Amino acid sequence: MKADPSGVLTGTHNISGNYACAEGALAAGCRFLGVYPIAPALEVSERFLQRAKKVGATFIQMEDEISTLAAVIGASWTGKKSMTVTSGPGLSLMMEHIGLGIMLETPCVIVDVQRVGPGLGLPSQPSQGDMMQARWGSHGDYELIALAPSSSQEMFDFTIKAFNFSERFRIPVAVMSDEYVAHLQEEVVIPRAKDITLEPRRYFDGPIGSYLPFKRDEDLIPRMVDIGQGYKFHVTGLTHDDRGYPIMNEECQEYNVHPLVKKIRDYTDEIIEVQEVNIEDADIIIISYGVSSKAALKAMEQARGLGLKVGSLKLVTVWPFPEKRVAELAGKVNAFVVPEMNFGQVVLEVERCSYGKSNVFFIPHGGKGVEDTEDILKAINQAVQDDRIIDRIVELR
Amino acid sequence: MKLWRKPFDLDKIKIPCGEIHIIEERCKGCGFCVEYCPKDVFEMSEEFNAKGYHPPKITNPDDCVECHLCEMLCPEFAIYVTLKKDENPAGVKSEEGK
Amino acid sequence: MEIPKTMQQEETQGSRSGMDITHPMENVLRMDRIPHIWCPGCGIGLAVTAFAAALEKAEIDLNKVAIVSGIGCTGRVAGYVKLDSFHTTHGRAIAFATGIKVANPDMKVVVFSGDGDLIAIGGNHFIHAARRNIDMLVICVNNFIYAMTGGQVAPTTPLAAYATTCPFGCVEPPFNIPYLAESSGAVYVARWTTLHVRRLMNSFVEALNKKGFSVVEAISPCAQYYSRINRLGDGLDMMRFYHDNTEIRHGEDTKNLDIAYQGKIIMGKFVDRERPSYTDRYNEWLSEIKDDENEPG
């Protein structure tokens, strides 16, 4: 099979999540991959390299994850869509440059193939333990977008979606995959290049000398230029004004950092995506994301078979969290069941947004493979029996 | 200018004369220009600039030979030198060269 | 959103010294940001002057030059030079610059940062960029101390010199930057003090036109911290010291370039050699791959 010169390998393939991620990146126009080897993310760079020459993409393996994300941000300013792949320990090191990417408002994509932590953990086992780290790990206030794929097809689709978000909002976007999705061989349908919608980078095209790197358009997003076009701009990771010059006072801090948060919060309706099944008549809703949603959907079907009114809310974008939708549902249903492959991260958001109006049952998961359908069913049964409001997370084991 | 030996092309060579421009407000009074000017053109001023530093003042403007060392040695980008307009066209011997 | 008042004031501060300034470096420096933040008697301004002069002398297209700085006093340089300029995280300037160079090999990339930034927190990136021979010029301003944070011991602080975090004298042997650079694979290594500003400029010109990882160490007086803690006088006194205690030895073995506390400083151009750069090797590797060899089925 011949690849399209634009990088799209149109057709139906039986490939792993990691390969699908590399294909998604190439289809989205990613032309720079910086990596540091880490299990279980290795196959993304392997596949990318196989295809690099044909599509004119560049690849570099750096000396650590810190420099990797630094190089990716640098490369993004040359006009190349840039990406890195890593796992938990690498994401920890990347926190420094997630902050820099936010401050320099640089589009880039970080794929985190999550493994069990903390510390070095179990490199070969899946987990969802980096969700809060991605959201809060870098110092200071920021907003970022995180997507959670649950299959090879979604690895492909969400990687493209991540590039589109990063260009649209000039922000680093995280794809929170896990070891299970990464190595699962599944059918992936790659459409034709013309059927893939790509968000173009929004360039400044005014005269040289008039470019202000952080002058925001009406929609709060500043425009970019590439290095080497003659604009001779300056950008800094310090608190800065529109010119990109550091200004060391509180007013500027407000002027600079508030829009960084606002440019995402104002567009949450546009960004947030959830997949709802059987929500209309549900008494109990399973809120899940990533690979857990596979088990969640199966548990929902089995519970429906038993005559229980169970629905499923799958988060496509975990960050920003769909607060409004969860709050809306909180008054209507008896309980939320949250299966997560960690000891409680996104469930805290669910509890926050349910305002004590419905019970929250949480199923912790320490690392024995993926989420178990049986566990979710048990939690559903418990939720059916407990119909008084407890107003705190019930941890089931 | 004192010459140890009279060069053969002395009458063709003209010693350039520079005009020194000091942007006083930028000066932080480090004194590098005063110390290292090969012609001792500068002296520290008694006056203060807006920032409270003593900028250099030019005491021997005619001695400047436009070597630009003060320009290169000013860490504040506060001095620059331009070539002075030709009052002494080429080929005319200077007083000392006679 | 309205621009706060204090920021507008800041905006005019630079041009206040106004008149009709036609400083010859007007087109390579952001004069709207001068006066800069460096203390009286600091040598970083001299390194910038030498660099600005070198940019003009090297006759390169300034649109195709990017400058990246890290954090610290010297980290502010990028903000004063009128090029595509980036002020990045502490120690990661070389990593950031590597990304730029690899993604767009047409750019000439300069990293301008301090000793603490490049050799301590950024030491790993320094040796690996040298090993890969990424085509960039690294200018390391060495003032023997962490100055912006108030005079802490640096990896270049000479043995027995005082710093706020070694009040009884530095107990760690310092790095010899040219030796580190040469042994890691740099193709051009030179050292000057900022007093020898013309020689420094000439080294910058040579290094800008050199293909490969070039390192120029610029020894600079820190008149506020290093000199005050060690009672070495002001910037001018340190300059006088450099004047009397430096020796030019081109081609000297970089092993012999350790700097002892108030000892003799050996300067010159030590290394000028040829090695294929990262981009060369990468392109060579690309040209060897046959078109269908790696095509996935």
Say whether residue A228 is in contact with chain C using an 8 A CB cutoff: yes
User: In the complex, which subunits touch B with 3 or more CB pairs below 8 angstroms?
Assistant: C
Per-residue confidence (pLDDT) for residue C2, from 0 to 100: 54
Asked if omega into C35 is within 30° of 0 (cis), the reply is yes
Any idea where the domains of chain B sit in the sequence?
20-83
Contacts of A232 in chain C (CB under 8 A): 62-63, 82-85
Domain that holds residue C89: 25-288
Amino acid at A216: R
C34 in reach of chain B (CB within 8 A): yes
Pick out chain A residues at pLDDT < 70: 1-5, 391, 397
Residue A46 tokens read as 């392997």
Token pair of A289 as six digits: 């994301």
A82 in Cβ contact with A76 (< 8 Å): yes
A11 touches chain C (CB under 8 A): no
Question: Which chain B residues contact residue C236 at CB under 8 A?
Answer: 30-32, 35
Residue at A5: amino acid letter: P
Q: Which chains lie within 8 Å of chain C at 3 or more CB pairs, if any?
A: A, B
Give chain C's end-to-end CA distance (angstroms, integer).
53
| B50-94 residue pLDDT tens | 989 999 999 999 999 999 999 999 999 999 999 887 665 554 444
pLDDT given at position C18? 45
Q: Which of A3, A78, A231 sits opposite C103 (nearest CB)?
A: A78
Quote the CA–CA distance of C51 and C76 in Å, as a whole number.
Answer: 14
Beta carbons of B26 and C34 less than 8 Å apart? yes
Question: Does C95 contact A at CB distance below 8 Å?
Answer: yes
CA distance C164 to chain B (A): 24
Closest residue in A to C297 (Cα) is A1
> Cα separation of A86 and A136, whole Å?
17
The class level of CATH for B20-83 reads: alpha beta
Q: Which helix (H) or strand (E) holds C125?
A: helix C123-132
Task: Quick: pLDDT tens for B2-57.
Answer: 778 888 888 888 888 999 999 999 999 999 999 999 999 999 999 999 989 999 99
Instruction: Establish if C84 touches chain A: CB-CB under 8 angstroms.
Output: yes
Minimum-distance CB partner of B77 among C23, C41, C234: C23
- In terms of C-beta density within 10 A (0-12 exposed, 13-18 middle, 19 or more buried), how is residue B8 classed? exposed
- Please name the residue of chain C whose CA is at the shortest distance from the CA of residue A236: C87
**Residues with Cβ within 8 Å of residue A331, at least 6 apart in sequence:** A357, A358
Question: Which chain B residues have a beta carbon less than 8 Å from that of C235?
Answer: 30-32
Cα–Cα distance between A91 and A95 in angstroms, integer? 6
Q: Mutation target for A interface from C6, C87, C90: give the one with most A CBs within 10 A.
A: C87
Could you give the number of structural domains in chain C?
1
Comparing CA positions, the residue from A388, A383, A191 lying closest to residue A287 is A383
Nearest by CB to C239, which of B25, B32, B71? Answer: B32
A62 touches chain C (CB under 8 A): yes
What is the predicted pLDDT for the residue at C7? 56
In 3-state terms, what secondary structure has residue C113?
A: strand
What gap in Å lies between CA A345 and CA A357, rounded to an integer? 20
Work out whether strand B56-58 and strand B42-44 pair parallel, antiparallel, or are unpaired.
Answer: antiparallel
Q: How open is the CA angle C177-C182-C183, to the nearest 5 degrees?
A: 100
- The beta-carbon neighbor of C102 closest among A47, A60, A76 is A60
pLDDT in the model for residue A159: 97
Task: Report which secondary-structure segment, H or E, holds C46.
Answer: helix C44-57
Q: Torsions phi, psi of A367, nearest 5?
A: 135, 20
Residue of B nearest to C199 (CA): B72
Residues of A in contact with C5 (CB under 8 A): 251
Interface touch C35/B30, C-beta < 8 Å: no
A39 touches C at CB < 8 Å: no
CA C138 to mean position of chain CA atoms: 5
Q: In one letter, which amino acid is A135?
A: R
CATH number at residue C41: 3.40.50.970
* Look-up of token digits 């012999």: C256
Residues of chain B with Cβ-Cβ distance to C38 below 8 Å are 75
Nearest to C103 by CA among A63, A66, A228: A228
Query: Which amino acid is present at B8?
Result: F
Other C-beta atoms lying within 10 Å of the C-beta of residue A15:
24
Q: Which positions of chain C have pLDDT values less than 50?
A: 8-19
**d(C-alpha C161, C-alpha C169), whole Å:** 5
* Structure-block tokens of residue A32: 């720079």
Cβ atoms of residues A25 and A45 within 8 Å: no
Per CB-CB distance under 8 Å, the chain C contacts of A32 are 99, 102-103
pLDDT in the model for residue C291: 64
Cβ of residue C198 closer than 8 Å to a chain B Cβ? yes
Residues of A in contact with C282 (CB under 8 A): 58
- Per-residue pLDDT at C292: 59
The interface predicted TM-score (ipTM) is 0.94
The alpha carbon of residue C17 is apart from the nearest alpha carbon of chain B, in Å, by 6
Tokens found for residue B46: 């008694």
Inspect the structure and tell me whether chains A and B have 3 or more CB pairs less than 8 Å apart: no
CB spacing of C4 vs A259 below 8 angstroms: no
Cα separation, B18 vs B62, in Å, equals 8
Which of A236, A254, A266 should be substituted to probe chain C, the one whose Cβ sees the most C Cβ atoms within 10 Å?
A236
Helix (H/G/I), strand (E/B), else coil: B57: strand
Q: Do B25 and C17 touch (CB under 8 A)?
A: yes
Q: Does B30 touch chain C (CB under 8 A)?
A: yes
In order of their start, the domains of chain A are 11-195 (3.40.50.970), 274-395 (3.40.50.920)
Interface residue C244 vs chain A (CB under 8 A): no
C98 and A97 in contact by Cβ < 8 A? no
Nearest to C43 among B26, B53, B75 (CB): B75
Nearest-CB residue to C128 (from A63, A229, A255): A63
Q: Is C210 exposed, middle or buried (0-12, 13-18, 19+ CB in 10 A)?
A: middle
* Cβ-defined contact of A252 to C99 (cutoff 8 Å): no
Residue C40 burial (CB count, 10 A): 18
Q: Which residues are within 8 A (CB) of A171 and not within 5 positions of it... i.e. 6 or more apart?
A: A101, A102, A105, A107, A143, A144, A145, A165, A263, A264
